[in-house]
């Protein structure tokens, strides 16, 4: 049965946390959107593009959802011929994504939406992608987020994730510690999202689980076994 939800009323997630996260993200990204690509440019061109290409090699043909589309950095990597929807909580980031889609001549349907309450029926997408997005969520919202991504992915479809990972290497850990206050303020994000701890509970099968950039970044290719029942 289809379970499209209204945008502002996530049913079973802790509503206060969802609202607080949405507020924090909105505050950060409305502020940072005009300079986001400038600030992130060094990372984007030195390693993020390479990892995006690696991740998108696992996308399936058909309908693709880019969750937390941001300014649209994934757009050059969408598989040719795929029908793409991008969602984000921040209107300012969506405006930049829209401009990029026009520049690239890439038709992408862009909508403002909270990833914790996606307004799509179950099993809508062949591929669901979230790159550097779940790092914006506190521990308590990691599982609800994975369940929501799984819900809109068709059985046998793919969920592709890229995110920072708390490194075991001392030097990288220090670098992360040094930058974590900036990451929090500028991007409402953290270097140590706990996504990986919740994969099994979210009913996701892991097809690829790799670390990149030493072990500072995690690349995950996941598959929902079956439509996720309400917890
Ligand atoms: C660090 S940016 C990453 C953007 C893009 N995915 C990329 O790889 O460059 C994180 C994005 O996730 C969005 N975001 C964070 N929490 C969200 C939520 N609960 N619902 C929708 N979008 C969210 C932010 O607005 C922001 O655009």
188, 24 Cβ separation under 8 angstroms: yes
Distance CA 4, CA 11 (A): 11
Is 9 part of a structural domain of the chain?
no
CATH number, residue 37: 3.40.50.150
Is 141 part of a structural domain of the chain?
yes
Print the domain residue range for 97: 15-224
CA of 101 to the centre of ligand 1 (A): 17
The minimum-distance atom of ligand 1 relative to the CA of 189 is 1
Is 89 part of a structural domain of the chain?
yes
Helix, strand, coil percentages (3-state) for the chain, rounded to 5, are: 40, 25, 35
For the chain, what is the domain count? 1
Per-residue pLDDT in tens (0 to 9) along the chain, 231 residues: 344 444 444 445 589 999 999 999 999 999 999 999 999 999 999 999 999 999 999 999 999 999 999 999 999 999 999 999 999 999 999 999 999 999 999 999 999 999 999 999 999 999 999 999 999 999 999 999 999 999 999 999 999 999 999 888 888 888 888 899 999 999 999 988 999 999 999 999 999 999 999 889 999 999 998 654 555
Is 10 part of a structural domain of the chain?
no
pTM recorded for the entire structure? 0.91
Minimal CA–CA distance to 87: which of 104, 74, 105, 77?
A: 74
Is 2 part of a structural domain of the chain?
no
Is 24 part of a structural domain of the chain?
yes
Is 7 part of a structural domain of the chain?
no
The minimum-distance atom of ligand 1 relative to the CA of 73 is 9
């Amino acid at each position: 049965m289809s379970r499209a939800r209204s945008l502002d009323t996530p049913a079973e997630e802790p509503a206060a946390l969802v609202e607080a996260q949405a507020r924090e993200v909105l505050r950060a990204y409305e502020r940072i959107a005009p300079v986001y690509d400038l600030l992130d440019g060094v990372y984007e061109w030195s390693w993020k593009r390479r990892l995006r290409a690696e991740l998108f090699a696992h996308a399936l043909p058909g309908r693709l959802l880019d969750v937390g589309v941001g300014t649209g950095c994934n757009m050059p990597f969408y598989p040719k011929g795929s029908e793409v929807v991008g969602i984000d909580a921040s209107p300012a980031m969506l405006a930049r994504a829209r401009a990029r889609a026009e520049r690239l001549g890439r038709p992408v349907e862009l909508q403002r939406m909270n990833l914790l309450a996606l307004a799509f029926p179950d099993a809508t997408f062949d591929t669901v992608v979230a790159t550097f997005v779940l790092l914006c969520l506190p521990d308590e919202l990691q599982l609800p987020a994975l369940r929501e991504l799984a819900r809109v992915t068709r059985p046998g479809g793919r969920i592709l994730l890229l995110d920072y990972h708390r490194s075991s290497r001392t030097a990288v850990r220090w670098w992360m510690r040094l930058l974590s206050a900036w990451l929090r303020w500028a991007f409402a994000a953290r270097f140590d999202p706990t996504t990986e701890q919740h994969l099994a509970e979210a009913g996701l099968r892991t097809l690829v689980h790799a670390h990149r950039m030493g072990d500072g970044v995690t690349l995950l290719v996941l598959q929902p076994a079956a439509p996720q029942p309400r917890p």
